[in-house]
Amino acid sequence: MSQVCRDGQRVAGEAPPSPGPDPLPTSGAAAATTKTRAPSRTATKADSATTTAAGSPQVTIYTDGGASPNPGKGGYGVVLLYGKHRKELSAGFQRTTNNRMEILAAIAGLEVLREPCQVTLYSDSQYLVNAMTKGWVERWRRKGWMRTKKDAAKNPDLWDRLYLLCQRHTVSFKWVRGHASNVENNHCDRLATQARKLPDLAPDTGFEEDS
């Protein structure tokens, strides 16, 4: 059976999935994939993926995103780890914001998974992590994407996509300090920076100047 990404994009030229769980597509499923060195021994040991008793694969995702200036050209970078499997994603956009790229990085990592997974997602964005762990997004969504009676929540197009993905997957959001000692977070930062410097960047169709 052909492999299909969460967003419906068909992955060409791949063999049928192996009998064992492997939720990461091996090629072509996202905007960009880059081969780099393997993660450090510490990171590999901490993030080795297994399968839960219930049968759901355990996947670790690192994300980062940003824009320079803000708003301005932006990009995101993602690293997905599952056992011995590793996949990197990145994409750049003409005009966007730091916050939109942080959210979109999480979306990109989750959308590429082929089946429901137990996910630990690391981000250096307190905005992203707090919104997902403190119930802000669920509350905004319940109130028609209003933060208060007068103020609309920003980036509802992305928050809704992320919320729905978290209904498919069991996601634990973890904050890490940016530009510090986390190898994979730093690598995501490099991927995001490289992506926003590429020519012919795509438009961020949901971007609004006050987002």
Q: What is the 3-state secondary structure (H, E, C) of 92-132?
A: EEEEECHHHHHHHHHHHHHHCCCCCCEEEEEECCHHHHHHH
Is residue 77 annotated as part of the catalytic site, yes or no? no
Write down the catalytic residue from 102, 111, 184, 204: 102
Long-range contacts of 40-43 (CB under 8 A, 24+ apart): 40/183, 42/183, 43/182, 43/183, 43/184
H/E stretch holding 196? helix 183-196
The one catalytic residue among 7, 135, 179, 208: 179
Establish whether 208 is a catalytic residue: no
Which is the catalytic residue, given 47, 64, 111, 204?
A: 64
Where does residue 140 rank: exposed (0-12), middle (13-18), buried (19+ CB within 10 A)? Answer: buried
135 catalytic residue (yes or no): no
Q: Collapsing DSSP states into helix, strand and coil, what is residue 144?
A: coil
Q: Which is catalytic among the residues 47, 111, 124, 184?
A: 124
Query: 9-17, long-range: CB within 8 Å, 24+ apart, which pairs?
Result: 17/114
Among 65, 75, 77, 109, the one annotated catalytic: 65
To the query of whether residue 124 is one of the catalytic residues in this protein, the response is yes
- Does residue 64 carry a catalytic annotation? yes
Catalytic annotation, pick one of 47, 88, 111, 189: 189
Active-site residues: which are they? 64-65, 102, 124, 179, 189
